[in-house]
Amino acid sequence: MGRGLAQKGEANGAGHTGLWAGHLHRVKGEQLLEQLCVSPSKTHPSIWEKSHHYLCPLIPFLFPRSASDTPTVLLNTFWSREPGCDSGFGNLLARQLDLRGLRVLAACLTEKGAEQLRNQTSDRLQTVILDVTKTDSVAAATEWVKERVGDRGLWGLVNNAGISTPTAPNEWLTKQDFVKILDVNLLGVIDVTLSVLPLVRKARGRVVNVSSIMGRVALFGGGYCMSKYGVEAFSDSLRRELSYFGVKVVMIEPGYFKTTVTSPKALFQGLQASWNQASPEIKELYGEKFMANLMKSVDLLLTTCCQDLSLVTNCMEHALTSCHPRTRYSPGWDAKFIYLPMSYLPSFLVDLMVYWSNPRPAKAL
């Protein structure tokens, strides 16, 4: 009798298995995943709760219902007005995500840059003109984004707009030199993020802030390093606050890459302009030889810049599409093996390394 019950049970089990297999063939993958995510099993709640946590974020990527349902990413990436400005991380990331099938909203500083990008991508990509230093421009761009994402919200925000000049010894600079960089690299990031944050929260999406390895160790004067330290602090506090709402905040900390931020022409011009505006006392302290040696040091550093920008954009893409993005990404061999280890050394050791590697002022003790 017991054996008969067992055989009957096995037969029933086989029948249920066959029905379930047939059901799998009839139900679309999207519907199945959604059922798994929103219909926890009574017998194994922990399994289905985990399925909800891991699978739900992937449904829009795996099974978009229509073009309007495809995850939308806002790239606040273009800032430089120089010719060829749309050849850095932002341009490559926009084209890369467009090829992956995501809807990309690219914020550009100039109409020329926006037109160039549209010509290189599909009709999914749309552009908007944005000046991150102007609150009115940020507000207008936010309304533009709201009209396009609707009730689904914004899956990803990438803050990459940035400038690096003027960079020079602090004594050569004025308050306005610092403000110029902080307005774009830090306050612009904060303004844009706070403006679109309700849309990101609605989608339980991602905020990806591009910092720099110079946000971990400050090796030169000017507003660039302090702006990146600020981005690190803003991102850390924001990540902890938004963790209660299912929003992830990620930082990208690249080493030296060949972009407009590391353009030798722009850096040399900024350095020369800072030297020209310095007081006679400062020029006497540092001397003309210091200026010449500093130019050579900058030129030598820039020759080591990595040209493979995909190392950075691949990190950005992973941060946007992975179930479990890292808190920090440090693309570039110099970031991983030089600057990141330096950031963990005692301060006096880093001070000595910088002291012996930098040019000495004429009146140094």
CA 134/CA 11 separation, integer angstroms: 71
Burial class (CB in 10 A: 0-12, 13-18, 19+), 303: exposed
329 given a catalytic annotation: no
Tell me the three state secondary structure of residue 328: strand
Q: Would you say 202 and 145 are in contact if contact means Cβ atoms under 8 Å apart?
A: no
Q: What are the helix (H) ranges across 204-260?
A: 223-242
CA 253/CA 316 separation, integer angstroms: 11
Strands 156-159 and 126-129: unpaired
Tell me the three state secondary structure of residue 103: strand
CA 319/CA 303 separation, integer angstroms: 29
DSSP state of 361: P
Work out whether the CA dihedral 146, 86, 161, 101 comes out positive or negative. positive
Q: Which of 152, 155, 180 is nearest to 166 (CA)?
A: 180
Which amino acid would we find at residue 87? S
Return contacts of 296-300, CB within 8 angstroms, 24+ apart: 297/358, 297/359, 298/264, 298/267, 298/268, 298/271, 299/264
Omega of the bond prior to 166 within 30 degrees of 0, cis?
yes
Strands 328-329 and 248-252: parallel
Q: Which of 293, 275, 294 is nearest to 284 (CA)?
A: 275
Distances (CA, A) of 84 to 111, 121, 167, 212, 243: 13, 17, 21, 22, 38
Any idea which residues carry the catalytic annotation?
A: 224
